[in-house]
């Protein structure tokens, strides 16, 4: 589970508190929701944490009583827009199976397709030689939902690809699998391939990866800005043409929305997480929730945060204490950069105002606990940035860079405030932090507007409808090509 690093905050004490808020969440929600929520959120040894939390059950009895009184209304079940996929054979090919965004998104698609009766197969190209805990947990979850996990190599892989009605290739780097495994049969599979691309960094534009891109049935990309980038870059750099390309904005899972719309659960999570961080209920928390790396802009965020503190001090503003929370820390993966961040915090003597939390996909407790999300991705920004719509579901305003998918999610001045990337964005972000810290009504109104925007266009149902339109088109094209070959 996430480990919080702060001066004078005991490791054992933190885990005791974390156990308590995990327990509170378990008690607050239905068993099915909790299972689905933790499946989406972590696979990070939560089971052990929950077991350890049983000792604290007496102190949470009042939560059980509240939960017993609350019964969710039974809503009319809307038919899935993907119901036409019933009995279709779908092969999902993932470059890796990990807790990163790409594989988890593909798993969500797998479960959506299984829910309508599709026959779904999963292949992982790069598997560790020895099955680790994460791989085992994720495969176990898929098998439990009826997704068949098969080898990405050999005859079984080839036979499954040839038999499938649809093959979804996930991420640009998965492209090498087409030649390595399909070899001479690659031309038989390409007409039914939908290539789902999430990357927007230059090193993914290699002919080795994407030489078959012009010949697949279609490409699906998470934002308009990333789509334009791929079209221009493949044409200019590789001299190849993109296939028919579809933009599919993502949506929040039903499980996350259930937590976001449960005021009692949110209050309990807020209290427990804030207690674990050592901050008061009235303190203002600005959080950046992303894997710690230079591209995600944690260093520039801390500079902006320090500048904001100085502005408040200079102008003698009477506002509650501000805190910066960095969720996504991982000393083993980015040691040099991590140390830079910590050295900066010590240098500026703001240790009591900055909190580092280890990488976790259990984001809901932190979204319930904070006041503002900072999305500070640099260069071309995020391809989409799902944490942004998750934060908006929790009625949080977003301070984001005016780059990438963030510009398609955040309405500047309405659901949040945008600032430039790079060093030119440091002072504007600092000023935006002060604006939202000093204008409570504006902060709350932006949060409400963000939630309304999520309800209008960023739910699981919306994503399913968008994907359904793409899958119908890809299946139609594939069928037409097959008919022509037969003729």
Q: How far apart are CA 303 and CA 378, in angstroms?
A: 14
Q: How far apart are CA 273 and CA 262, in angstroms?
A: 16
For residue 120, being part of any structural domain is answered with yes
The answer to whether residues 338 and 189 belong to one domain is: no
SS3 label, residue 145: coil
Q: For residue 482, what pLDDT is reported?
A: 61
For residue 44, being part of any structural domain is answered with no
What is the domain-level CATH number for residue 185?
A: 3.40.50.11010
CA 477 to chain centre: 31
Q: For residue 65, what pLDDT is reported?
A: 35
In whole angstroms, how far apart are CA 11 and each of 14, 278, 365?
5, 13, 19
Domain that holds residue 122: 83-250+466-483
Contact 218/244 with Cβ under 8 angstroms? yes
Q: What does R_g of the chain's alpha carbons equal in angstroms? A: 23
For residue 32, count CB atoms less than 10 angstroms from its CB and return exposed for 0-12, middle for 13-18, buried for 19 or more.
exposed
For residue 312, being part of any structural domain is answered with yes
Query: 90 - beta bridge partners?
Result: 120, 166
Q: How far apart are CA 292 and CA 296, in angstroms?
A: 7
Q: How far apart are CA 110 and CA 378, in angstroms?
A: 31
The answer to whether residues 244 and 331 belong to one domain is: no
The answer to whether residues 264 and 242 belong to one domain is: no
- Mean pLDDT (10-residue bins), the chain, 487 residues: 42 44 49 37 32 28 36 63 97 92 93 97 90 88 97 94 97 91 93 93 78 95 95 90 96 95 97 97 97 94 98 96 94 82 97 93 93 96 94 98 97 98 98 98 98 98 97 91 54
Contact 225/407 with Cβ under 8 angstroms? yes
First to last CA, the chain: 58
Of the candidates 38, 40, 20, 19, the one whose C-alpha atom is nearest the C-alpha of residue 30 is 38
Q: For residue 203, what pLDDT is reported?
A: 67
For residue 76, being part of any structural domain is answered with no
Contact 129/442 with Cβ under 8 angstroms? no
Of the candidates 456, 366, 379, the one whose C-alpha atom is nearest the C-alpha of residue 411 is 456
The answer to whether residues 246 and 259 belong to one domain is: no
Residue 448 tokens, joined: 């409400």
Q: How far apart are CA 442 and CA 446, in angstroms?
A: 6
The answer to whether residues 210 and 122 belong to one domain is: yes
The answer to whether residues 473 and 329 belong to one domain is: no
For residue 42, being part of any structural domain is answered with no
Q: How far apart are CA 79 and CA 260, in angstroms?
A: 24
The residue with tokens 């301070």 is 399
The residue with tokens 């990866």 is 209
Q: How far apart are CA 479 and CA 477, in angstroms?
A: 5
The answer to whether residues 258 and 245 belong to one domain is: no
The answer to whether residues 93 and 140 belong to one domain is: yes
Q: For residue 98, what pLDDT is reported?
A: 86
Q: Where are the beta strands (DSSP E) in 125-199?
A: 148-149, 166-170, 193-197
Query: 355 - beta bridge partners?
Result: 325
For residue 15, being part of any structural domain is answered with no
The answer to whether residues 110 and 210 belong to one domain is: yes
Q: For residue 99, what pLDDT is reported?
A: 80
Q: For residue 60, what pLDDT is reported?
A: 32
Q: How far apart are CA 71 and CA 64, in angstroms?
A: 12
Q: How far apart are CA 220 and CA 233, in angstroms?
A: 16
Residue 462 tokens, joined: 């919306």
The answer to whether residues 198 and 344 belong to one domain is: no
The answer to whether residues 435 and 388 belong to one domain is: yes
Q: For residue 383, what pLDDT is reported?
A: 92
Q: For residue 25, what pLDDT is reported?
A: 54
Q: How far apart are CA 161 and CA 178, in angstroms?
A: 10
Neighbours of 152 (CB within 10 A): 21
Of the candidates 358, 354, 371, the one whose C-alpha atom is nearest the C-alpha of residue 305 is 354
For residue 47, being part of any structural domain is answered with no
SS3 label, residue 115: helix
Q: For residue 430, what pLDDT is reported?
A: 98
Q: How far apart are CA 203 and CA 107, in angstroms?
A: 25
Contact 2/357 with Cβ under 8 angstroms? yes
Neighbours of 271 (CB within 10 A): 16
In whole angstroms, how far apart are CA 244 and each of 65, 90, 173, 261?
54, 20, 19, 38
Q: For residue 114, what pLDDT is reported?
A: 97
Q: For residue 205, what pLDDT is reported?
A: 72
Domain count, the chain: 2
What is the domain-level CATH number for residue 402?
A: 3.40.50.2000
Q: How far apart are CA 116 and CA 145, in angstroms?
A: 12
Q: How far apart are CA 94 and CA 240, in angstroms?
A: 23
| CB environment 153-171: b (16+ within 10 A), e (fewer) | eeeebbebbeebbbbbbbb
For residue 362, being part of any structural domain is answered with yes
- Which 8-state DSSP code applies to residue 127? -
CA 463 to chain centre: 14
The answer to whether residues 226 and 261 belong to one domain is: no
- Which 8-state DSSP code applies to residue 179? I
């Amino acid at each position: 589970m996430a480990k919080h690093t702060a001066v004078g905050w005991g490791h054992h004490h933190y885990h005791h508190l974390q156990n308590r808020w995990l327990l509170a969440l378990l008690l607050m929600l239905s068993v099915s929701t909790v299972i689905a929520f933790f499946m989406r959120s972590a696979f990070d040894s939560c089971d052990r944490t929950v077991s350890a939390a049983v000792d604290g059950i007496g102190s949470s009895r009042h939560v059980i009583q509240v939960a017993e009184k609350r019964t969710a209304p039974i809503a009319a079940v809307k038919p899935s827009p993907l119901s036409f996929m019933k009995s279709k054979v779908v092969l999902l090919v993932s470059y890796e199976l990990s807790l990163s965004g790409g594989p988890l998104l593909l798993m969500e698609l797998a479960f959506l397709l299984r829910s309508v009766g599709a026959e779904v197969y999963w292949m992982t190209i790069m598997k560790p030689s020895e099955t680790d805990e994460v791989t085992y947990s994720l495969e176990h979850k898929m098998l439990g939902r009826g997704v068949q996990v098969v080898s990405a190599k050999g005859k079984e892989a080839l036979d499954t690809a040839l038999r499938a009605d649809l093959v979804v290739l996930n991420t640009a780097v998965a492209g090498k699998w087409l030649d390595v495994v399909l070899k001479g049969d690659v031309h038989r599979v390409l007409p039914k391939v939908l290539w789902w691309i999430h990357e927007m960094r230059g090193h993914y534009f290699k002919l080795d990866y994407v030489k078959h891109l012009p010949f697949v049935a279609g490409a699906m990309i998470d934002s308009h800005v990333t789509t334009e980038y791929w079209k221009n870059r493949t044409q200019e750099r590789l001299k190849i043409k993109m296939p028919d390309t579809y933009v599919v904005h993502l949506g929040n899972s039903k499980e996350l929305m259930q937590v976001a719309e449960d005021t009692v659960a949110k209050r309990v999570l807020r209290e427990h997480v804030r207690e674990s961080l050592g901050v008061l209920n009235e303190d203002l928390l600005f959080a950046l929730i992303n894997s710690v790396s230079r591209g995600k802009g944690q260093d520039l965020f801390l500079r902006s945060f320090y500048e904001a503190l100085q502005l408040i001090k200079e102008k003698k503003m009477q506002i509650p204490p501000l805190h910066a929370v960095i969720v996504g820390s991982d000393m083993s993966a980015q040691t040099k950069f991590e140390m830079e961040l910590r050295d900066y915090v010590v240098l500026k003597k703001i240790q009591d105002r900055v909190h580092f939390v280890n990488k976790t996909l259990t984001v809901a407790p932190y979204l319930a606990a904070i006041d503002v999300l900072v999305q500070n991705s640099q260069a071309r920004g995020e391809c989409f940035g799902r944490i942004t719509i998750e934060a908006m579901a929790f009625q949080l305003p977003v301070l984001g860079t005016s780059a990438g998918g963030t510009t398609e999610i955040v309405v500047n001045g309405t659901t949040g405030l945008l600032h430039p990337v790079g060093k030119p964005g440091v002072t504007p972000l600092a000023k935006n932090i002060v604006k939202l810290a000093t204008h409570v009504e504006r902060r709350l109104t932006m949060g409400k507007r963000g939630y309304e925007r999520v309800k209008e266009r960023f739910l699981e149902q919306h994503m399913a409808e968008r994907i359904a339109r793409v899958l119908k088109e890809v299946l139609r094209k594939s069928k037409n090509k097959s008919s022509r070959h037969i003729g």
